[in-house]
Amino acid sequence: MYRYILNRILLMIPVLLGIIVVISSLMYFAPGDGARAVLGPDATEEAVENYRQERGLNDPYIVQLLRYIGNVARGNFGDSYRTNAPVMDDILARFPNTAKLAVLSVFFGAILGIVLGVVSAVKQYSILDKIASMVSLVGIATPTFWLALMLVLLFSVRLGWLPASGNYGWKYWIMPVFALSIYEASFIMRMSRSAMLDVLRQDYMRTARAKGQKEFIVIMKHGFRNALIPIVTMIGLEICQLLAGAILTETVFAIPGIGKYCYDAIIARDYPAVQGAVLFSAILCVIINLLMDLLYGMIDPRIRSMYQRTRKARVAK
Amino acid sequence: MSKRNGKAKPSGLLAETWHRLKRNNLAIISLVILAVIIILAVFAPVFTRYEYAKQDLTVLLQSPNSEHWFGTDNFGRDIYTRILYGARISLMIALVVVIMSSGLGCIFGALAGYFKKLDLVIMRIVDVLAGIPSLLLAIVLAASFGAGTRNMIIALGISYAPACIRIVRSSVLGIREQEFIEAAVSIGADNSRIILRHILPNALSPIIVQSTLNIARALISSSTLSFLGLGVQPPSPEWGAMLATGRNYIQQYPYMVIVPGLAIFVTTYALNLFGDGLRDALDPRLKS
Amino acid sequence: MEKTILEIKDLSIEYRTDEGRAKAANRVSLSINENETLGLVGETGAGKTTTALGIMCLLPDPPGKVTGGEIIFQGEDLLKKSDEQMRKIRGKQISMIFQDPMTSLNPVLTVGEQIAEVLYLHSEMSRDKVEEEAKKILELVGISRDRFHEFPHQFSGGMKQRVVIAIALVCNPALLIADEPTTALDVTIQFQVLQLINDLKQRLRTSMLLITHDLGVVAEVCDRVAIIYAGEIVEIGSIQEIFENTKHPYTVGLFNSIPDLDEERDRLEGIDGLMPDPTELPEGCKFAPRCKHCKPECETAQSIEPVDIAGDHKVRCLLYRASGEVTQ
């Protein structure tokens, strides 16, 4: 099992490096002068040049890249142009909000989605299946930010029941989580249904019935257990998507998360902040994928034993 | 062709697919809706007498009425007109993005699936690109090279590419093992011929379905980015951008927010419905 | 007189699809006695698996449906039983093993668990006892009992099939239905597995319905054999009778298409044409379009009743009247 973990971690590193390189390179080659952006159009040429020297902005591309990578490895994402404080601090302060949003939304979405998806698959072609399919299609076709605006329109503007923006209590979270959950539930429901349908077609379902097993147990123990593998993978991917996609919901509902931070930074041309936020999210995604892989290994014995067998082979000798 | 009940059964992949598609009521309805949207978009000037960018300060912020079916916005522009022209923009962007990503998908997916040595290199790059969520990539590009339609299209095209490459690669890997490929090799067909004439035609089904669904995704993504100000710039009547503007007037003029969103919703819904129908028609085995 | 354990009378099964109604089984009648192995021989698509699934009441519904007939097992009509009653029978009184061992086992459960499942379902044994029984049967099929906790992917195709056999026989069923159990295996393994099935069947005194398209297998293992074509039983009888006194033109064709060790030939003799599409079955005798001896009345006859030849040898062919006379 440890072999498997190690293997996955090792594979993760080049991908992480690649992401850092891609993102920093993009920002590096961006037209415009970072130093001037910070100091403003009134600063003297000398001041700008000093600034550039201090921060090593005149060094060749490779040197800057390596330096940046080194910094990132130590948790230093640079300083924000706006606050001159480490970007990392800003991110860490906001991360819990984004995480809360993502986890809650996927959680509720998954419960509803998996249950509906499995039931739809088992009762394929029934009225329930058709309705669920229609409704889930509505769910994924509705742009989340529009749904968010509609919710604000209804519950804040017209009815005044819920607060429109901010982060001062659990009430402020109802609409954002709801808006995101709708999409999540719909998406997860469709994927679960599809995964379940695949599994229900398999021969081992027939074997289980030929044993005289009760239908419910056949579906759960033989069917769902196998469908769980792709479903879990997909949930991990969704959490990743949300970490990035929450930028919208956070913006609409003014929740101080990483997404909103990123957005504000773009408007303000605070490049280190943008770079840091994007990098942070990307790295988080890679880590989550890693965790999913590990989970995968735990659920699917085929993957688990791929790495155990080598151990046994050595013991046998 | 085989005869059944006096009617000739269609043969050939395209014909069979169309035949199955025809029987799916939902798919046909969605196709009709899409056709209507496309016609409205392409022939927009025919359906409206206003111009989308012309400001008329005498009719600011009107609710829907007989002169302006969807009302007017904060510059007095007719919203109905802007929705029509917005359809052009949104659909065109989505199409370009999908052509780009699916094109890249076919090329690199086929190469990766067919040539083992290229596979390693290509898939590593794909892994890196896939690790960056599409929205973030677009944001970075927007932040670096400036906001705008062109950058947005490039960003989205690149970020959708990894999934397409993976799909095509997976299909190619599966088909490559089949015996008719061995047969083609044994009669002396060279690599490019094998890829183009034997492998790709059979690998197309999954990528076609994915492309249809990607058009819907691209639509939403571009709306999202425009909403954030990172995509299409004013005065272009892109639906997402219209939502951004409308947001400021949500209290008193909600129609400014309701209408563009509805447009996005209907188009996306029809696209997804059609994509589902297409999937069922292309491979009925997957249905049950 | 041997006791009849299974008797199928006029079983008809249909599949309702978008393309039309496929008549997969048309008035199939056969019987199996205690301790006996009946072979069911036919081409792919002839209706063998459909009949087997029909007996187990495992037809996928939709689209499959039994449209007529009776399946009398140990004196009772299975088609009249409730779901719950059938569940008690499946795995315990009638078991089935399927064609493809690679996909017949659940990949996320250990083989031990999957064998134990049958025991838990049909007996009141304690956990320890169940595990012991399961390990015993593993050994019986030639797998070390230490492999109880291993997963299906850790076994080869032949071994997987042995596990499937273990699952089927662990509760000592009266009837075992084996649907082409060796078709998906290597030829060398085929022989081993067949021997195993035969051994166990004799030891446990189980009757067997062996479905196959291979007449060689039939010769090895079966006592009686039924030939099925386009969903109909066209000939049935003891091995002796069928192999040495072949009557139906289709069966004759089948035997002729097997290469003969003693004879020298340039080409194999096949049967011209293809089996009819089950959604468009021809009127009259289903084999008529391909039959060398076809007469006009063969194509128009409403239903062709089986004719007794000798003993329990029956043929469904207009060429014959009672006692094997050939009519011309």
CB spacing of C280 vs B23 below 8 angstroms: no
Taking contacts as CB-CB distances below 8 angstroms, the residues of chain C near A299 are 108
Confidence of residue A189 (pLDDT cuts 50, 70, 90): very high
Q: Per residue in C131-189, pLDDT tens?
A: 999 999 999 999 999 999 999 999 998 899 999 999 999 999 999 999 999 888 888 88
Biggest CA pair distance of chain B: 76
Which pLDDT value is given to residue A35?
A: 67
pLDDT at residue C236, rounded to an integer: 92
Per-window interface: A 219-248 vs B, CB < 8 A: 240-241, 243-245, 247-248
Max Cα separation, chain C? 68
Per-residue pLDDT for C83 more than 60? yes
Residues of B within 8 A of C276 (CB-CB) are: none
Cβ contact, residue pair B268, A286, below 8 Å: no
Q: How far is CA A172 from the centre of its chain?
A: 22
Cβ distance A157 to B142 less than 8 Å, yes or no, reads no
Interchain pair C280, B4: CB under 8 A: yes
- Confirm if C32 and C6 have CB atoms less than 8 A apart: yes
* Minimum distance, in Å, between the CA of residue A117 and any CA atom of chain B: 15
In chain A, the percentage of residues whose pLDDT exceeds 70 is 92
Of A160-164, C6-10, C19-23, C245-249, minimum mean pLDDT range: A160-164
CA dist C6 and C9 (Å) reads: 10
Q: Could you tell me which residue, C265 or B100, shows the higher pLDDT? A: B100
Task: Give the closest of A211, A225, A300 to C121, CB-based.
Answer: A211
Residues of C in contact with B4 (CB under 8 A): 20, 279-280
Per-residue buried b or exposed e for A155-170, using 16+ beta carbons within 10 Å of the residue's own CB: bbeeeeebbbbebeee
Is pLDDT above 70 for C67?
A: yes
Tell me the chain C residues in contact with residue B284 when contact means C-beta distances shorter than 8 Å: 18
Contact at CB, B128 and A153, closer than 8 angstroms: no
Whether the pLDDT of residue C249 is over 90: the answer is: no
Question: Are the beta carbons of C20 and B4 separated by less than 8 Å?
Answer: yes
Q: Using 50, 70 and 90 to split pLDDT, how confident is the model at C32?
A: very high
Question: Could you tell me how far CA B209 lies from the centroid of its own chain?
Answer: 10
In this prediction, residue A67 carries a pLDDT of 82
Question: Looking at CA atoms only, how far is residue B167 from chain A in angstroms?
Answer: 16
β pairing state of C64-73 and C76-77: antiparallel
pTM for the structure as a whole: 0.84
Under-70 pLDDT residues of chain B? 1-13, 195, 200-201, 283-288
- The vertex-B281 CA angle with B279 and B285, nearest 5°, equals 80
* d(CA B4, nearest CA chain C) in Å: 9
| Domains assigned to chain A | 2-73 (no CATH), 94-316 (1.10.3720.10)
| A193-207 residue pLDDT tens | 989 988 998 999 999
Would the CB atoms of A299 and C167 count as touching at under 8 Å? no
ipTM of the complex in this document: 0.86
Contacts of B129 (CB under 8 A, 6+ apart): A22, B137, B158, B159, B161, B162
Is omega for the bond preceding C63 within 30 degrees of 0, making it cis?
yes
> For position C178, what pLDDT does the model report?
94
Q: How many Cα atoms occupy the beta-carbon half-sphere of B261 within 13 Å?
A: 23
Task: For residues A165 and A146, give the distance between their C-alpha atoms in angstroms, rounded to a whole number.
Answer: 15
Q: What is the pLDDT of residue C317?
A: 84
